[in-house]
A and B are shown apart, each in its own frame.
Chain A
Amino acid sequence: MGPPAKRGVLRSRRYGDGFVEALLFFAAITSILVMVLIFYFLTYESFLAFRDVGVFDMIFGQKWHPAGDIFGMMPIIVGSVLITFIALFINILVGIPLAIYLSELAGPWSREFLKPAIELLAGVPSIVYGFLGVLILVVYLEKSFDMLTGRSILAGSILLGIMFIPALTTICEDALRAVPKEFKEGSLALGATHWQTVRRVTLPAASSGIIAAVILNVGRVIGETMAALLVVGNVARIPSPIFDAFDRGAIFTSVIAGEMGEVAHGSMHYHALFAVGFVLLVIVTILNISADLIRAAIQKKFGGY
């Protein structure tokens, strides 16, 4: 924070300053305003659907069948949960070791090389991932598992899991780096090996940051649109058996993006899609706020690392 304003400056300057401050204040509250507007418009547009179908039937309904005006979100929720779990598994399997490598093992040269590579990977547009997913991953899965179509929950999970490795790694690396050096040095001085130190000292000390990163990534996986839209198959039906990841499925975003293009403005289907978006927004916002709270709690507890 800057120092307190000095008294006795010229009056005109002070008015100028006041004007600028008001402008900046407006810029600062824009994000609150946008957040409120997003919530308002999604609630407003989905209200009709929730009222006509009923909140409970809408969320726990077993069937999503827009042609027959049946809107139950359970197939979408099951698909999303399946995709999130498998994608997170892949994500964590590569992302956290990579963060450990960057923060603990990498020499200056390999760091200099790997850091920009990860940033570039994070910048690859999701539609490009989707394109490669359709032409390579889906074809490969189709061939190797003899599936009717390779577009499946599994394909979506693999693609999303790989896509968000950089996001997870970046935050986890920051968390690992923030662990005070004294902790590690103390452990090494006691005769622990490097890996024992990482496992028993660094990882536990950074665990809350890592958990926050994972929660944020859950939000990202659920909210990713283009890549998922192209490879999950977009068939909103509960897979049987329920853990059948090789079946086609649908998730929140793929349903919205896949069906919004062809619905009549103001129809029931249109409002139902907004309702799906509203549920998605609520889930993601809860995830984001909890990640934020976790981080804030940690800062309070440990004083800034």
Chain B
Amino acid sequence: MKKIKPVPLASIVVALFLLISSLYYLLIQSEEIPLVPFWMGGLLVCTVLISASALALNRNADDRTRVVWTRGRFLPLAADLVYFLAVFLLVFSGRIRPDLEFEFLGLSAVFTYDLVLPFLVLLASFLVIKDSINLLYGYSTRGREVLVFSMVRLSAVFTLLLLGGIISIILYKGIGAISWEFLTQPHFRLGQEGGISTCIEGSFWLVMGAMLISAPLGVGAAIYLNEYSKRTGLKRIVTIAVGCLNGVPSVVYGLFGLAFLVATFGISLLSGSIILGLMNLPTIILTSQEALKSVPNSLREGSVALGATKWQTVWKVVIPSALPGVLTGMIIGVARAAGETAPIMWTAVTFSATPVHMFYGVIPDVTQPVNNLCYHLLNLIYFLGAWDVETKAWGTALVLLALVLIINMVAILVRNHYRKKISW
């Protein structure tokens, strides 16, 4: 075993080079790939190294009684080697040339050289790594574990890259559009000029209205379900209804609002707030219920033993102890409401909305339509091909993303802070 260790390790190193370079060319889709000779060489080297270590493994195992090359191990390895040679021969014989184009099965896609070759090499590099790790550990269960867990770790890396990628590309492209004027002026000329002040205003009031509706109803429902209800039947039905509401697609809420509210209130801030509030209801009920459940019964019993009524117990003892959890749920609700587009598309927003008219400077006029960050971004996306709005769109996306992520981050911080502080 120990003698052959450097050989599979060497093939893993070669395979990593193949993996990274082919992934790079797969992503940038360049017409010319100067690395092809190196790839072919790398494939040949890997084929030789893997065959050599397979033979060595076989010889090492001779003195033991167990059989190393069962069919389940040998066939995949042989298939992989055939695959490497096939890729090599296809390129070498000129079947895969830069002018390669083929369609198959009637799919409406054309597979070209700059896609096919890097993909084949990428696949090959994965297979090389798989075989090498198996050979490195002599096809033991330990080798399989290392293999699977490295794939599992890859998924974590992928997720972090995804988040980092989304944030950094929007930050990079959008930061140029951000200025004081962009944040404080309304847009004009179909969003080509001006800023997004009306959208920020509209988003703010929509979210406020939504929370005004969903917070009391949601927390109240959670308190009733957790503290009062004795009939398990009702509780079960409400739980199912909350689960269903949680899953109702946002566009269906939009249809519901269109049929139910627009007829009465028109396209207005009020309709949008009600719809967003109802949509947020399940989130708040579920998180508040979690928070209430985590309050230990001994606190309630202590309070009742002191002569407090049920409501006094709930108000003075249970709610204060559950407050951090309830608060976290509400903040997440705010973030969700700020990021939703579909429910308010036909109920609350218009692209050309004027700034919100205020009574006494504090109370917004709820009967007029508003603009909203999400809806503004949607319209800018529609205008992309026709007008020069791309910078503004990136800027709007940046403001929206920053807003939502910061609110979410606050929720996470609040929760972590109190989780450390409170221990029953």
Contact = CB atoms under 8 A, between A and B. Distances in A.
A253 B342 CA distance: 9
Interface residues on B, range: 35 or more
A285 B240 CA distance: 10
Contacts of A62: none
Contacts of B160: 114, 117
Contact of A126 (B110, B170, B218, B339): B339
A16 B314 CA distance: 13
A225 B251 contact: yes
A144 B105 CA distance: 18
A257 B251 contact: yes
Interface in A255-285: 256-257, 260-261, 273-274, 277, 280-281, 284-285
Interface string A1-34: 1110110010001101100110111111111101
A290 B420 CA distance: 37
B242 interface: yes
B136 interface: no
Which of B226, B228, B285 has the most CB atoms of chain A within a 10 A radius of its CB?
B228
A240 B107 CA distance: 8
Given A24-B220, A225-B249, A280-B252, A42 B259 contact: yes
B152 A105 contact: yes
B224 A123 contact: no
Interface stretch (A52-60, A71-79, A93-101): A93-101
B166 A132 contact: yes
Contacts of A3: 297, 300-301, 304
B260 interface: yes
Interface in B227-280: 227-230, 234, 237-256, 258-260, 278
A131 B252 contact: no
A70 B221 CA distance: 44
Interface string A31-57: 110110110011011000000000000
B125 interface: no
B156 interface: yes
B310 interface: yes
Contacts of A109: none
Interface in B304-350: 304, 307, 309-314, 332, 335-336, 338-342, 345-346
B339 A125 contact: yes
A245 to B, nearest CB: 8
Contact of A220 (B154, B247, B309): B247
25 contacts: A2-B300, A5-B310, A17-B309, A20-B311, A21-B228, A25-B224, A28-B234, A30-B217, A31-B242, A34-B241, A35-B248, A38-B252, A41-B260, A94-B159, A95-B155, A98-B155, A105-B149, A116-B409, A132-B169, A134-B381, A145-B109, A216-B247, A246-B108, A257-B345, A277-B252
A287 interface: yes
Nearest to A255: B251
Contacts of B408: 119-120, 123
A127 B144 CA distance: 41
B310 A17 contact: yes
Which of A125, A148, A216, A285 has the most CB atoms of chain B within a 10 A radius of its CB?
A125
Given A131-B381, A284-B249, A240 B106 contact: yes
Contacts of B390: 135
Contact of A128 (B27, B152, B281, B397): B397
Contacts of B256: 37-38, 41-42
A202 interface: no
Interface of A is mostly: helix
A99 to B, nearest CB: 9
B149 A195 contact: yes
A8 B67 CA distance: 82
A102 B345 CA distance: 37
A27 B220 contact: yes
A178 interface: no
A94 B404 contact: no
Nearest to A270: B258
B261 to A, nearest CB: 10
Given A117-B160, A244-B107, A292-B243, A17 B230 contact: no
B4 interface: no
A223 B301 contact: no
Contacts of B115: 144-145
B112 interface: yes
A230 B377 CA distance: 12
Interface of B: 27, 29, 101, 105-112, 114-115, 141-142, 144-145, 148-149, 151-156, 158-160, 162-163, 166, 169-170, 216-221, 223-230, 234, 237-256, 258-260, 278, 281-282, 285, 297, 300-301, 304, 307, 309-314, 332, 335-336, 338-342, 345-346, 374, 377-378, 381, 384, 390, 393, 397, 400-401, 404-405, 407-409, 412
B395 to A, nearest CB: 12
Given A145-B115, A277-B255, A284-B248, A31 B159 contact: no
Given A2-B313, A223-B249, 4 more contacts: A5-B309, A9-B307, A125-B338, A284-B247
A106 B230 CA distance: 41
Contacts of B346: 260-261
A209 B154 CA distance: 23
A122 to B, nearest CB: 8
Q: Which 7 A-B pairs have the closest CB atoms?
A: A223-B249, A125-B339, A27-B220, A146-B110, A24-B224, A145-B109, A195-B145
A156 interface: no
Interface string A185-224: 0000000011110000000000000000000100110111
B247 A219 contact: yes
Contacts of A277: 251-252, 255
A202 B154 CA distance: 20
Contacts of B106: 240-241, 244
Given A21-B228, A225-B250, A277-B251, A34 B245 contact: yes
A86 interface: no
Contact of B400 (A98, A128, A132, A146): A128
Nearest to B263: A265
B11 to A, nearest CB: 23
Nearest to B141: A193
Nearest to A42: B255
B99 to A, nearest CB: 13
A194 B152 CA distance: 13
